[in-house]
Amino acid sequence: GQQVMQIPQYQHVQEGEDFTTYCNSSTTLSNIQWYKQRPGGHPVFLIQLVKSGEVKKQKRLTFQFGEAKKNSSLHITATQTTDVGTYFCAGTSGTYKYIFGTGTRLKVLA
C-alpha cells in the first residue's frame, strides 16, 4: 500500500536558523497537504499543493511539490519559537484517502 516517509524524524535548531523537512511517497500523488501539530494538539492544515513543480509561500514558509509528484518539502526561514511542533505531509493518490507521513518534530531553542 501507499507509504509516506518524512525526514528527518527530529530537528533541533537555534532560533533564527532555517529548517527543512522532506516528504517522500512510494506512489505518485494527486495532491499533497501539509499540517502542523503542536504538542498536545491536533493537526492543523497549512496548505495543499496540486500541480507538478508547484511552489507556494506563506510568510516564512515555502512549500514545494516535486516534478514527479512523489515528493515534497517544507522550508521555514528564520525559525521562531512559535514554529515548534510536528509537521506532517499527507498525500492522496486518486481518491480522497489522505495518508499521513511519519512527521518531523521541530524544536526551536531560544
Partner 1 sequence: DTGVSQNPRHKITKRGQNVTFRCDPISEHNRLYWYRQTLGQGPEFLTYFQNEAQLEKSRLLSDRFSAERPKGSFSTLEIQRTEQGDSAMYLCASSSFPGGWTGELFFGEGSRLTVL
**Residue numbers at the binding site for partner 1 (CB under 8 A):** 1, 4, 6, 31, 33, 35, 42-45, 48, 88, 90, 95-103, 105
- Structure letter (DSSP) for residue 98: P
What's the min distance (Å) between Cβ of 71 and partner 1?
16
Cβ-based nearer residue to partner 1, 44 or 78:
44
What's the min distance (Å) between Cβ of 16 and partner 1?
27
Q: DSSP string of 43-92?
A: -EEEEEE-STT-EEEETTEEEEE-TTSSEEEEEESS--GGG-EEEEEEEE
Place of cell 516534478: 67
What's the min distance (Å) between Cβ of 78 and partner 1?
26
